[in-house]
Amino acid sequence: MRILIIGATGFLGKKLFTILGKKNEVFGTSFSKSEAGFLKIDRTKAGEVKKLLEKINPDVLIDANGISNMDDCEVNLNDCWQSNVEGTKNLADACRAAGKKFVFISTDAVFYDKSKEFLEETAKREPVNYYAESKLAAEKYIENNLKNFLILRPSTLYGYNGPNDKIGFTNFVISNLSSGKEIKIVDDQMSCPTLIDDVAIALEKLLEKNQPGVFNSVGKDFVSKYDFALKIAEVFGLDKSKIIRAKLSEMKFEAPRPASLNLSIEKIKRLGISMRGVEDGLREMKKQMDENQ
């Protein structure tokens, strides 16, 4: 397949580029970073998107771009909407006009918060912050205007691309504990942490099987941020005593955080696609880090 990844220099985008590039002809774009080998594009400009699609002529376009920092989105509402909604609309429209398959990387945060049930793909969607609202608006636009699309919903992404990785919860925990710093981590926010490798592998298999529609693509374990941090410390041989238990109500976030998002992965499992739990995922991450030191 010929694949174009919008946001190939981002945290997940890099892993998509690496894994999908093993079997496919892959092209990647960058907006905020200037890196050799990547195409520059502003996805909020429909003309640029149309020209790029005509130039590359991919079979599949993957939208792995946008503003993902919840606090930034809560403060900069217009920037968030322009990138996460209008930018995605431009990509979707270009794919529809050219007859290309469109893949959208969404988020578990589109769902109704505090549910105690497994959230299947068709569960109620009711975001608690502006970032998630923007992703939901993009999801709805895709569902209402495209036929040939695929939407993946990961959660709390972690993993390893290289020594320049700076973002993400896992890197925050490792860098602070490695420096001997104490960190406050909430024990009342639950999610299904997801290894970026598993998202990339799942997407590759879904494309190979020509599967359409919406798929939850999260890790198999449902854990609190606090317990996830403890497991990170355990796997990486760091001091657990530096992890201080806290509550969401104590944290000074700009954006509200969903407290409980337990996504079902039965749909993707029925296709023979597996998602790792936190210990296996973290050990894979550490293995990759050790191999590249």
- Beta bridge partners, 195, equal 158
Which pLDDT value is given to residue 261? 94
- Taking the C-alpha atoms of residue 84 and residue 109, their distance in angstroms, rounded to an integer, is 14
> How far apart are the C-alpha atoms of 132 and 80, rounded to whole Å?
10
CA–CA dist 48, 39 (Å, integer): 11
Per-residue pLDDT tens for 197-228?
A: 999 999 999 999 999 999 999 999 999 999 99
* Average pLDDT estimate for 27-47: 83
Tokens of 196: 């970026």
Residue count (the chain): 293
CA angle 83–88–94, rounded 5-degree value: 135
- The separation between CA 169 and the C-alpha centre of its own chain, rounded to angstroms, equals 13
Task: Measure CA 132 to chain center.
Answer: 12
CA distance 255 to 59: 37
pLDDT at position 32 is 62
Q: What is the pLDDT of residues 98-144, one digit of tens each?
A: 999 999 999 999 998 766 678 999 999 999 999 999 999 999 999 99
Percentage of the residues of the chain whose pLDDT score is greater than 90: 89
For the chain, give the longest Cα–Cα distance.
56
Which residue matches tokens 């992404």?
Answer: 157
Name which of 226, 220, 217 is nearest 169 in CA terms. 226
165 has a pLDDT exceeding 90? no
* Residue with the larger pLDDT of the pair 162 and 230: 230
Q: What is the pTM of this model?
A: 0.95
SS3 of the chain: the string is CEEEEECCCCHHHHHHHHHHCCCCEEEEEECCCCCCCCEECCCCCHHHHHHHHHHHCCCEEEECCCCCCHHHHHHCHHHHHHHHHHHHHHHHHHHHHHCCEEEEECCHHHECCCCCCCECCCCCECCCCHHHHHHHHHHHHHHHHCCCEEEEECCCEECCCCCCCCCCHHHHHHHHHHCCCCEEEECCCEECCEEHHHHHHHHHHHHHCCCCEEEECCCCCCEEHHHHHHHHHHHHCCCHHHEEEECHHHCCCCCCCCCECCECCHHHHCCCCCCCCHHHHHHHHHHHHHHCC
pLDDT band at 15 (very low <50, low <70, confident <90, very high): very high
291 vs 287: CA distance, rounded Å: 6
Close Cβ partners of 125 (under 8 Å, ≥ 6 residues apart): 110, 111, 112, 136, 139
| CATH classification (class only), 2-157+194-219 | alpha beta
Q: Is 291 helix (H, G, I), strand (E, B) or coil?
A: helix
* Band (5; pLDDT cuts 50, 70, 90): very high
Rounded Cα gap, residues 82 and 198, in angstroms? 29
Mean pLDDT of the region 49-67: 95
Residue 153's identity, in one-letter code, is: R
Please choose, from the candidates 287, 257, 282, the residue with its C-alpha nearest in 3D space to the C-alpha of residue 108: 257
